[in-house]
Structure 1
Amino acid sequence: VLGVSSDAGARFWGAIPYAAAPVGDARWRLPLPAQVREAVLDASEPGAPCAQPAYGDVETGPVLGSEDCLTLNIHAPADAEGAPVMVWIHGGGNYAGAARDYDGAELAAREGVVVVTINYRLGPFGWFHHPAIRGERPEAATGQFAVLDMIAALQWVQSNIAGFGGDAERVTIFGESAGGQNIYALVLAEPAQGLFHRAISQSGGLWNMSLAQAVNPQDADTPGTRASASEILAAWLVSAGRSGDRAEALDVLSAMSDAEIAAFMRGLSTEAVLAPYRDQPDLGYDLPSVVLDGVIVSEAGHQAQLASGAYNQVPMMLGGNLNEQKAWMAFDPTYVTFTDAGPVARDRDQYAAIDQHYSNWWNASAVDDIADHAVSPVYAYRFDWTDAPTEPVDLAFLVGAAHGMEIPFVFGDFSGGFEALFTEENREARETLSRAMSAYWAEFARSGDPADGGAGLPQWESWDEGRQKMIFDAGVIALAPAPLTFDTLVHRLVADERLSENERCMILRHNTMYPEFDLDLLDRAGCAP
C-alpha cells in the first residue's frame, strides 16, 4: 500500500480493505477475507462511507457511500516502531457516519501512537436480526453483522499492523456514542477475545433490547420497535409491490420460507433497503443494534455478564459529557427560537432541566452502571468544557459540553465544523486541555493505566478506589466524586418543579424503554408505561 505524509508529521494510508465487499450474496453474511491484490494499492485517500441515507444531499442521490466499504485508515508517527495502536470506531447512531470524518494525524504525531479508523456496515446492513438470515450460520447466529465487521478489522490489525509501526500486543479500541456502544459490544463478545487489550468508551452505553423486540411487529404480544425486522420487511414488501399495505405484508411474510425471505432481501437495491429510513428521518434512532441475542451479548443482559466476569476483561476507560442532550436541543424548535444572530432558548429553566435529567441518566447508564458491574479495572471521567462564546448567542449555555464535544480535544483537531465554538479567545485554554486529554488517552493505550498521563498531570485513580471521575474542564483537571444511581435520578426528576408532569413522565419513559430497567419506576413516579 502506498501512503502519504500528512501536515501534522504523521504518515497516512487510507481505504485499505480489511474484508471483502459484503454485496450480492455476501450481504447479511459474516465478513469474508479481503481479496488478494496483485498490484500496489494507492492509499492516499480515506475510504468512502458505508451506505447510509443521504438526507438532502443532491450530489449523491438518495444514498451516501456504498455497500462496498469495509476499509480502514491508518495514521502513524513518521518513526513508529512497536507503537501502541488505537482503533477508533465512529459514532452516528449505528446508521450514519464514517471513518474518514476523523483525522488521527495530530494524535498520532503528538503521542507516538498508531491510530486506525474503521468503517463498518451501518443501519439495516449492519444490524438486522430476522431469523431468515440470522440462522444461516448456526455457529454465528447473530444479526449484528457490524460487530462481526469490527472483529474482522481487529483481526486484520493483529496480522498487519506491525508493518505500519504498531504493536499488535497493545491494541486499544476506542469510540464515541454508537461507537462507544460498540466498544461495549466488543468487550462482551466472546469472538473478540484476544483481539484488543484496553477499551475506551466515550458517551457510549448499552441501551439493549431483547431479540423479540428487535424482530417482532409492533402489535405482537412482545412488541417490536417501529424499526424491527418485521416492520422493515413489511415496508420493503409494500415498496416492492408485493403487498398493498403493512397488514397484508405481514401476512405475506408469515407465509414465506426463510430461504424466500433471504433471497428477497438480497435482491433489493441499496436504495430500496434504505428507503424506509429516508422516508422517516428519525427511524434510525429505533434501530435494533446491540441486541441481547445470546451470541454477541448474553441474553441475561450486560450487567449480569459483566458482574459474572464472562467478558473480555481488559482495563476500561469510560466517560460522558456534562450536557449530552444539548447536542440535539440546541437546534430543536421545540426548545429554541431562531433569530438572525442564532438560536435562543425559549425557556432557560426548562432547557437546563431537560438537559440535566437526560444527560445525567446517560452518564449513569454509560459510565456508573457499567463501572459498578465490571470486575476489570475501570477509569471514569466527565467532560465539562463549557468555555464557548456567550455573544452574540450564548453558545456556552445552548451547547456547553454537549454530546461529541470531547472528540476534538482527544484527537487534537479543532477543524471539524465547530468554528463558532472554538475561538481565538478560548484557544490557549482548550489546547492545554486537549494536550492533557490526549496524554491520558495515549498513556492508557501504552500501559492500561492513564496514571498521570505520562506528563505530570493529576493522578487518575481507578473507579474502585472511591467511585470518582476525572473532571475535564478549562483550567481544571481533577478527580471528584460523581456517582449517579437510577433511584437518585428518578427522585430528582419527580421533584423537579421546572418541568410539567407530562415532561417528567416523557423523560422517564424515554430513559426506561429498554428491558434492563425496572419499569416499576414508572408506577412509583406516577407515570403510565
Structure 2
Amino acid sequence: MRSTRTLTAALVCAAVAGAFSLSACAAPEPGLQVETGEGPVLGMQRENGAHFWGAVPYAAAPVGDARWRPPQPAPAREAVLEAFEPGAPCAQPAYGDAETGPVLGAEDCLTLNIHAPADADGAPVMVWIHGGGNYAGAAREYDGAVLAEREGVVVVTINYRLGPFGWFHHPAIRGERPDAPTGQFAVLDMIAALQWVQANIEGFGGDAGRVTIFGESAGGQNIYALVLAEPAQGLFHRAISQSGGLWNMSLAQAVNPSDAEAPGTRASASEFLAAWLIAAGRADDRAAALELLSTMNDGVIAAFMRDLSTEAVLAPYRDQPDLGYDLPSVVLDGVIVSQEGHRAQLASGAYNQVPMMLGGNLNEQKAWMAYDPAYVEFTQAGPVARARDQYAAIDQHYSNWWNASAVDDIADHAVSPVYAYRFDWADAPNEPVDLAFLVGAAHGMEIPFVFGTFAGGFEPLFTPDNRAGRETLSRAMSAYWAEFARSGDPGDGGAGLPQWETWDEGRRKMIFDAGEIALAPAPLTFDTLVDRLLADERLSEEERCMILRHNTMYPEFDLERLAQADCAP
C-alpha cells in the first residue's frame, strides 16, 4: 500500500540534465510527503511531471569513529525532511577547484535521490550506481526524471563512499571485523542503500519485488560486485552493467608496497599509509615510512588513520592526479568477491543468479584520448588527431579488450540469462572538428541515450542535424532498459523493436547505432586480441607493450604473458 502522497500543486522548474540542480528555481510549494522508516520526507514535482525527493539519508554519516566501518542505519527524525535538492557528493579530490578547495563534497554523504512517475503505483525500480573510477562522481550528476516519466519506472540514484574512504584493505581495518573482514566499504554502502529501497520504496510508488541495479564504468564494475556478493542476495532482481569492466585486484595488489615480491599498486594501502606518515611528519621518506609501518600494531594504525582530516586522506591524489585508476576497489577478498575470481564464481553458480544486461561502447578509450595532448593537437580550429592511424589503433585495442573482458567473458561464464549489447553511435559532427572520429562512441556516451537527457558534458556532439536520429535511438534504448526492469527480458522493448535474444542463443550482441538496431555476432577471443595487438604495425613496440601491460594487470600482474611478448612489467 502506498504511503500518503498529497498531489497538491507543486511549483515546477527546469533542471539541467546531467549535473542537475534545483536550487536555482523559485522556492518549491511542497506537496509530496512520504513516510519512511526514519521519518517523513517531502518532495516536489519536476517540469515534466515526474516527482522528486533528494538527499534522503539511507545510512548514518560514516565519520569519526565510523570512518572505515560498515554503514549503520540512518537516525530517526521527527521533523519533515524537505527533500528538494539532490544530495552532495561523497568526499573526493577537487583538483584545484577554487570554489571548494582541495576537496569536493564531504564524508557525510550517504544519501539517495528518487525520481518517480506522477502515477507510480507498483512501478519497477531502477537503482543507478554512478561511475567515476570509484574515486570521483556523484548521484546528483544523473537526472532520472525523463526516464522515470517516459517509461513508468522509479529511478533511484545513490551516493557511496569513494577513493580510500570506500576502498581500503589494510589488515588494520579489515581485522576489526573478524566476521566480515572486508575493506570494500563502498559495496557495503550499496547494500545498505538497497536494503533501504526494500524497506521504503513502496511509499514512493515502487515495487520492491522488481528492483534492477544499473550503473556505468566504475558503477558497472560495482554492479558485478553486487551480483557476486553473497550479502546482497535478494536485494535486487535484475542487473545492468554499462561499460563495467572487471578491474578486480588481488589482496596483494590492494595491500602490498609497489616494489614487494607480490607487488601492490601505486594506490595500495601500504603506499597510502606511507604517504600519510610522511605528510604527518612521522617519516622522512617512503622507505622510512614503510619501516615505521612495519613496527606499528593494527590498533595504532587504525587510530592514526581515523585522526586524519578529510583533506589529508585525499592528499596523495593531488601529487598524482592519475592515481585513481590504480585504486584497489573491488578486490578478491573472499568476503564480497571469491578469491578464486569471477570466472570460477560465475561458472559455479555461486552468485546472485539474476538476469543480466551487459554492454560496452565501440570506442571506449576515446573518452580519454580526445583530451590527451599526447594524441591530440589543440589548434585554433579545434582538436586534431596527431596521427589518425595510431589514434585508431590505440582505441581499437583498448576498447575491444574492454568489451571482451567486461561483456563477452562474463556472458560466457554466467549461468543466468545474459543479454549483451554494444553501443556504436558515432553520428557526431565531422566539421569544423571531426568529433565523429575523435570521440565516436566513447566511454559514457550511451548514458544520455538511456536517461533521455542530452547534456552532461556531451553537448558539442549533439546538434540539430543528428537530433531526430539520436532521439529515436534514445527512446529505443530506454524502452529496452525499462522492459528489462519490468520483466527481466528486454524482448522487443515493449515497443515492436528488434527481438533481443539471450547470449547463449548465438553469442550475439544487440548493436545500437544511429541507422540501425540489430543483433550481430561477437567473435573475438582474448588470444585473438593479443595476437592482433602484437602484430599491429601502426604502433611502436613500446605502445604495444603499454597496452598489453594495462590490459593484463587484473586481478594480478601477468608477468608470464608480458615476458613472452618481451615486455617489461
Q: Within 5 Å, which residues of 2 pair with 1:307-456?
A: 307-456=347-496
Counterpart in the other structure of 2:190? 150
How large is the Cα RMSD of the aligned pairs? 1.0
Of 478, 484, 493, the residue aligned with 2:524 is: 484
Alpha carbons 1:368, 1:483 under 8 Å: kept: no
| 1:18 correspondence with 2:18 | no
Alpha carbons 1:378, 1:463 under 8 Å: kept: yes
1:462-518 CA-partner distances (Å, limit 9, x unpaired): 000000000000020000002321001011112211111221111111111123686
Of 237, 254, 277, the residue aligned with 1:197 is: 237
| 1:499 correspondence with 2:530 | no
Q: Percent identity?
A: 87
Supply the distance in 1 between the matched residues of 2:172 and 2:195 (Cα, whole angstroms): 27
Deviation larger for 32-41 or 502-511? 502-511
Supply the distance in 2 between the matched residues of 1:418 and 1:229 (Cα, whole angstroms): 35
The Cα of 1:9 is off from its aligned counterpart by 1.6
SS in structure 1 at match of 2:460: coil
Of 270, 280, 284, the residue aligned with 1:240 is: 280
Name the aligned partner's letter for residue 65 of structure 1: G
Supply the distance in 2 between the matched residues of 1:149 and 1:208 (Cα, whole angstroms): 18
1:261-305 CA-partner distances (Å, limit 9, x unpaired): 100000000000000012211111100000000000100001110
Name the aligned partner's letter for residue 408 of structure 1: P
Q: Within 5 Å, which residues of 2 pair with 1:134-213?
A: 134-213=174-253
Of 65, 78, 87, the residue aligned with 1:38 is: 78
CA 1:485/1:279 → structure 2, altered by over 3 Å: closer, same or farther? same
Counterpart in the other structure of 2:515? 475
Supply the distance in 2 between the matched residues of 1:402 and 1:473 (Cα, whole angstroms): 13
- TM-score, normalised by the number of residues in structure 2: 0.92
Supply the distance in 1 between the matched residues of 2:207 and 2:51 (Cα, whole angstroms): 16
Counterpart in the other structure of 2:130? 90
Alpha carbons 1:90, 1:178 under 8 Å: kept: yes
Alpha carbons 1:301, 1:516 under 8 Å: kept: no
Supply the distance in 1 between the matched residues of 2:457 and 2:291 (Cα, whole angstroms): 47
Supply the distance in 2 between the matched residues of 1:227 and 1:59 (Cα, whole angstroms): 27
Alpha carbons 2:533, 2:544 under 8 Å: kept: yes
Name the aligned partner's letter for residue 394 of structure 2: I
SS in structure 1 at match of 2:281: coil
Alpha carbons 1:490, 1:525 under 8 Å: kept: no
Name the aligned partner's letter for residue 217 of structure 2: S
SS in structure 1 at match of 2:81: coil
The Cα of 1:341 is off from its aligned counterpart by 2.1
SS in structure 2 at match of 1:182: helix
SS in structure 2 at match of 1:425: helix
Alpha carbons 2:248, 2:331 under 8 Å: kept: yes
Query: How many pairs does the alignment contain?
Result: 529
Hey, which bits of structure 1, 4+ residues long, moved more than 2 A?
A: 515-529
Counterpart in the other structure of 1:3? 43
1:438-470 CA-partner distances (Å, limit 9, x unpaired): 000000000000000000000000000000000
Gaps of 5+ in 1: none
Name the aligned partner's letter for residue 345 of structure 1: A
Supply the distance in 2 between the matched residues of 1:63 and 1:139 (Cα, whole angstroms): 33
Supply the distance in 2 between the matched residues of 1:276 and 1:516 (Cα, whole angstroms): 23
The Cα of 1:172 is off from its aligned counterpart by 0.1
Supply the distance in 1 between the matched residues of 2:319 and 2:557 (Cα, whole angstroms): 31
Alpha carbons 1:173, 1:183 under 8 Å: kept: yes
| 1:282 correspondence with 2:322 | yes
Counterpart in the other structure of 2:100? 60
| 1:462 correspondence with 2:502 | yes
| 1:110 correspondence with 2:150 | yes
Alpha carbons 1:50, 1:65 under 8 Å: kept: yes
Name the aligned partner's letter for residue 353 of structure 1: A
- TM-score, normalised by the number of residues in structure 1: 0.99
SS in structure 1 at match of 2:54: strand
Supply the distance in 2 between the matched residues of 1:527 and 1:18 (Cα, whole angstroms): 48
Name the aligned partner's letter for residue 504 of structure 1: R
The Cα of 1:61 is off from its aligned counterpart by 0.7
The Cα of 1:219 is off from its aligned counterpart by 1.9
Counterpart in the other structure of 1:133? 173
Counterpart in the other structure of 2:344? 304
Name the aligned partner's letter for residue 443 of structure 1: E
Supply the distance in 2 between the matched residues of 1:219 and 1:494 (Cα, whole angstroms): 27
SS in structure 1 at match of 2:324: helix
